Structure 1
Amino acid sequence: MSDLFKVEPTPPLAEALRPATLDEVIGQSHLLGPGKPLRLAFESGKPHSMILWGPPGVGKTTLARLTANAFDCEFIPLSAVFSGVKDIRAAMEQAQQNLAQGRHTILFVDEIHRFNKSQQDALLPYAESGLVTFIGATTENPSFEVNSALLSRAQVYVLQALTEDELKLLLARAQERVLSHLQFDEAAVDTLIGYADGDARRLLNLLEQIGSAIKASGVTQVTSEFLQNALTLNARRFDKGGDNFYDQISALHKSVRGSSPDGALYWLCRMLDGGADPMYLSRRIVRMAWEDIGLADPRAMQIANDAAATYERLGSPEGELALGQAVIYLAIAAKSNAGYNAFNQAMAFVRKDKSREVPVHLRNAPTKLMKELGYGHEYRYAHDEPHAYAAGETYLPDGIGDPGWYQPVPRGVESKIAEKMQFLKSLDDQANGKD
């Protein structure tokens, strides 16, 4: 007898439109196209352990479910956010029961990067024994977040954000199957696709919001203006502590180093728009000035520091303009990593070298005993010498010679520094009888 009082919940649009077959999947053609890795894996007749790595809303869970369907396996999903070793063991007991009934099990762990080492280790013996086929999903780089032992037993597949054309195809499918009453003008489609930002689930969730807003307003034609008023704007795809974060800060740094002001501005604005801490960005901008510009343009350090101080005083959004102008200046400034390289070489030398004594002529002599021992006796006061330079003097410990760590580049102010260093070397050569 049916339960007349039981009300089935309406599934979210993202669940209602979840692909039932591999051919219905939109996107990931580099993995699912004819002759591509995942397509071949499905056609092999035998499932294998894998890790699906990609941004949110690109089909990781869908592919895991399709794998279970394709190989007629039981599907046990776990979320690493809510599950622990106890849940893993319970899943393995269920897998053992499935095996006794002649059914293989696929264990799907969503957000596998959130499992700690012991939790990931708990999966190993079951994956190795073949009791389950393990499929993990992650938005983080698995080479950093997944134990090497588990990583070595799973094939990693990299999923990509959906393109604009793929999102438009998904929009058309949603309209055809569920939302035929919604009509979008061309500008509205572009706005909606922009908000989705490569995320299929976000697109479908936005469509649900639009559906509710349409019912409340009575609007029949969806325009871009209606969308901007009706939708809750979400931040762009961005993870303040994840792989995407470090990819973007890397792109910002390399744009500055590559003298691309537009590229630097783009990545700075992407990170600000995505919620990155402007104070963190200001610190990185100061670091860029010292690492990639250095003494080729000393104004770069001043501008970077001034921008950081300006942001600290004004906050957002006013202070963000200072950061933007700082990255423009850094991008167009003369570039030099000579000081950066010299520092790294000197540090590397000191770390592996022995503890050398300070030469006697460089030591201070505040006491009578120290003077009697010759401390500072042969020191030459540079200001009393021609050109304020003690030609031929040495300032390194005995046995080091001339390491030549600092080699100025022929750009910006450093070209003048190089001329000065060459002149001083000529004075040394004269003093040492080498000319």
Structure 2
Amino acid sequence: MATRIPLAERMRPKKLDDYVGQQHIIGQDAVLYHAIQQKNIPSMLLWGPPGVGKTSLALLMAKELGRPFFSLSAIQAGVKDIREIIDKAEKLMNFNQEQPILFIDEIHRFSKSQQDSLLGAVERGLVTLIGATTENPSFEVISALLSRCQVYVLEHLSTEDLVGLVEKALHEDEYLKDLHIQIEEYEAILRLSGGDARKLLNVLELVSNAAVLHHEPITNAFVLKQVQQNMAIYDKAGEQHYDIISAFIKSIRGSDPNAAIYWLARMIAGGEDPSFIARRLLILASEDIGNANPNALLLANTCFQAVNVIGWPESRIILAQTVTYLASSVKSNASYEAINKAQSVVKQTGDLSVPLHLRNAPTKLMKELNYGLEYKYAHAYPGNFVIQEFLPEEISGITLYDPGKNPQEEKLRQSLRDKWKEKYKY
């Protein structure tokens, strides 16, 4: 099996109907699905975690549209490679050929000059650009290119999707289907995959070979034993990068500065981009600390700005200070939970009307319709506060922000109770 094409590549979908997951963007009612059916897709950025089908989706779109397909990896390609493909695309256009698709994997790793070299080709319609990224395009893609691309967010595959992939591989793969593999427990395989289909199939191939060799069914214990013994195989293709950043974030969230600084050192030794680390700290400062210690966000933001000015090796000191501070800080995810709840409410209730007294009234007609009529200006009342309703009537009284159980947010909780009485009684 070692000389064969990896299982993950063998199981790459051959047509759009075989594609697993991401129904929110390619389901039959989704915008991208209709664009594919109409043979007119925009330049786009596919943003999502590893192993959720970004490359497969790009390949399938090119196949579905019958377009020439060029592919570059941002890790290996330079401006010269980009220009060579643009020259090929221009020749195709001169011969009235179909507009090619240019797929760039890990486009966030391209420098500004490399991204600039793509602009002209996209603007002139020489290529349809499809960029794949695991990083937020707002941070990693230049604004001129970002404005010319539609961003589609891909999500982790569900448990059902992952189990379905395993079953499909066992029954349809040209090699595995004849091995009669018996899976008694799925938990370990799914947990090790982390929602990553590529990692899932790598682990499945590894343990399937071992199961045949040892004449054993696949159980959780068997999976863990085989993966530990073959860690080099399991971590191929740079997947350990994502495991280390996960361990790093979880160590800070778990308030263990010793572990956090260790994982920081591992990333430094691996040549990680300091701005990537600093950006993760910036997110964590709000997601995991929030109003329990507002200074955390200020320090993380200062750290982010500093490392982008200084770079290696001195940035390690600034990162170390920020990491140990955040890891040692009191924690709260109340703000994170609040926005999650609020977005869920919006999704469930739709576009509820803004109460009349809160509406803007820039015209005479709007004033005659009582827009803003009963609004109470808070600064005109004692303590700059007056009780009034700020939510749509349909969800009045809902609790979205529940301050965390820590000294700083307990003060916020008490202040809200004093102002709102029963409304914020918690």
Superposition pairs for residues 264-303 of structure 1, below 5 Å? 281-288=323-330
Q: Distance between the aligned counterparts of 2:209 and 2:331, measured in 1? A: 50
Residue 230 (structure 1) aligned to one of 223, 226, 229: 226
Superposition pairs for residues 175-254 of structure 1, below 5 Å? 175-178=170-173, 179-180=176-177, 181-187=179-185, 189-215=186-212, 217-232=213-228, 239=245, 241=276, 247-248=283-284, 250-254=286-290
Say if 2:291 and 2:408, in contact at 8 Å, map to a contact too.
no
Call closer, same or farther: CA 1:204–1:336 in 2, change over 3 Å.
Answer: closer
Residue 333 (structure 1) aligned to one of 406, 417, 426: 406
Q: Does 1:98 align with 2:92?
A: yes
Call closer, same or farther: CA 1:245–1:203 in 2, change over 3 Å.
Answer: farther
Q: Distance between the aligned counterparts of 2:197 and 2:19, measured in 1? A: 11
Residue identity in the other structure for 1:334: P
Superposition pairs for residues 385-396 of structure 1, below 5 Å? none
SS in 1 for 2:198: helix
Q: Distance between the aligned counterparts of 2:180 and 2:81, measured in 1? A: 43
State the match for 2:147 in structure 1: 152
Which digits, 9 at most, give the CA deviation of each residue in 1:342-391, with x for residues without a partner?
A: xxxxxxxxxxxxxxxxxxxxxxxxxxxxxxxxxxxxxxxxxxxxxxxxxx
Call closer, same or farther: CA 1:255–1:208 in 2, change over 3 Å.
Answer: farther
Call closer, same or farther: CA 1:35–1:257 in 2, change over 3 Å.
Answer: farther
Residue identity in the other structure for 1:43: Q
Q: Distance between the aligned counterparts of 2:19 and 2:43, measured in 1? A: 20
Q: Does 1:26 align with 2:20?
A: yes
Residue 40 (structure 2) aligned to one of 46, 58, 68: 46
Residue identity in the other structure for 2:144: A
Alpha-carbon offset, residue 20 of structure 1 = 1.2
- Unaligned regions of 5+ residues in structure 1, if any? 1-7, 259-276, 293-329, 339-407, 416-435
Call closer, same or farther: CA 1:286–1:237 in 2, change over 3 Å.
Answer: closer
Q: Distance between the aligned counterparts of 1:122 and 1:249, measured in 2? A: 35
Residue 168 (structure 1) aligned to one of 163, 167, 170: 163
Residue identity in the other structure for 2:326: R
Residue identity in the other structure for 1:127: V
Alpha-carbon offset, residue 62 of structure 1 = 0.7
Q: Distance between the aligned counterparts of 2:225 and 2:181, measured in 1? A: 17
Residue identity in the other structure for 1:19: P
Normalising by structure 2, we get a TM-score of 0.59
Residue identity in the other structure for 2:85: A
Q: Distance between the aligned counterparts of 2:183 and 2:3, measured in 1? A: 32
State the match for 1:309 in structure 2: none
State the match for 1:107 in structure 2: 102
SS in 2 for 1:108: strand
Call closer, same or farther: CA 1:220–1:23 in 2, change over 3 Å.
Answer: same
CA RMSD after TM alignment: 3.2
Alpha-carbon offset, residue 186 of structure 1 = 4.0
Residue 122 (structure 1) aligned to one of 117, 123, 126: 117
SS in 1 for 2:408: coil
Alpha-carbon offset, residue 78 of structure 1 = 0.5
SS in 2 for 1:14: helix
Call closer, same or farther: CA 1:287–1:126 in 2, change over 3 Å.
Answer: same
Q: Distance between the aligned counterparts of 1:133 and 1:207, measured in 2? A: 35
Q: Distance between the aligned counterparts of 1:104 and 1:9, measured in 2? A: 36
Q: Does 1:131 align with 2:126?
A: yes
Residue identity in the other structure for 2:181: Q
Identity, in percent, stands at 37
Normalising by structure 1, we get a TM-score of 0.58
Which digits, 9 at most, give the CA deviation of each residue in 1:157-176, with x for residues without a partner?
A: 00001111110011111111
State the match for 2:59 in structure 1: 65
Residue identity in the other structure for 1:34: Q
Q: Distance between the aligned counterparts of 2:126 and 2:55, measured in 1? A: 21
> Considering only CA atoms, is the larger Rg found in Structure 1 or Structure 2?
1
Q: Distance between the aligned counterparts of 1:24 and 1:158, measured in 2? A: 20
Say if 1:182 and 1:222, in contact at 8 Å, map to a contact too.
no
Alpha-carbon offset, residue 151 of structure 1 = 0.3
Alpha-carbon offset, residue 121 of structure 1 = 0.5
Which deviates more, 170-179 or 196-205? Answer: 170-179
Q: Distance between the aligned counterparts of 1:124 and 1:67, measured in 2? A: 21
Q: Distance between the aligned counterparts of 2:322 and 2:188, measured in 1? A: 31
Residue identity in the other structure for 1:212: N
Call closer, same or farther: CA 1:186–1:410 in 2, change over 3 Å.
Answer: same
- Unaligned regions of 5+ residues in structure 2, if any? 249-275, 295-318, 335-402, 419-426
Say if 1:31 and 1:39, in contact at 8 Å, map to a contact too.
yes
Which deviates more, 176-185 or 156-165? Answer: 176-185
Superposition pairs for residues 401-420 of structure 1, below 5 Å? none
State the match for 1:398 in structure 2: none
Residue identity in the other structure for 1:11: I
Say if 1:51 and 1:157, in contact at 8 Å, map to a contact too.
yes
Which digits, 9 at most, give the CA deviation of each residue in 1:295-345, with x for residues without a partner?
A: xxxxxxxxxxxxxxxxxxxxxxxxxxxxxxxxxxx964322598xxxxxxx
Residue 11 (structure 1) aligned to one of 5, 14, 18: 5
Alpha-carbon offset, residue 96 of structure 1 = 2.2
Q: Does 1:83 align with 2:156?
A: no
Call closer, same or farther: CA 1:254–1:165 in 2, change over 3 Å.
Answer: farther
